[in-house]
């Protein structure tokens, strides 16, 4: 976790090649930046491949997932804060 308050949270998440995040949704807005690597990103019914320097936005309650095509790092920003991430075991 890089920082947070009640309204905003930024986390850095490291991925090994081949890691697939389960499709999920949450009531938070999410903006993500590909700091390193290459990811297949699915948001709703749309899937794209994103590289270093790319970013994406996930509206609240929209199903999404990522797959690491290379080892990588995502910077995720959530509004409001994801309180379940305050328990570091969730990361």
- Any idea what the CATH number is for the domain that residue 44 is in? 2.60.120.10
Locate all alpha helices (DSSP H) within 27-76, ordered by sequence. none
| Number of structural domains found in the chain | 1
- Beta bridge partner(s), residue 79: 29
pLDDT at 85: 83
Average pLDDT over residues 59-72: 98
Which of these, 44, 40, 38, lies nearest to 59 by C-alpha position? 44
Are the beta carbons of 38 and 69 closer than 8 angstroms?
A: yes
Q: How many CB atoms lie within 10 A of CB 40?
A: 14
User: 9-50 pLDDT, tens per residue?
Assistant: 999 999 999 999 999 999 999 999 999 999 999 999 999 999
Residue 90 has pLDDT above 80, yes or no: no
pLDDT at 86: 83
Provide the domain limits for residue 84: 3-90
């Amino acid at each position: 976790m890089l920082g947070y308050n009640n309204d905003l949270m930024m986390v850095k998440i490291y991925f090994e090649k081949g890691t697939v995040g389960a499709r999920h949704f949450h009531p938070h807005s999410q903006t993500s930046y590909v700091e390193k690597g290459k990811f297949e990103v699915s948001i709703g019914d749309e899937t794209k491949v994103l590289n270093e320097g790319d970013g994406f936005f996930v509206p609240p309650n929209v199903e999404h997932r990522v797959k690491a095509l290379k080892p990588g790092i995502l910077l995720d920003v959530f509004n409001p804060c994801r309180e379940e991430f305050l328990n570091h075991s969730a990361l």
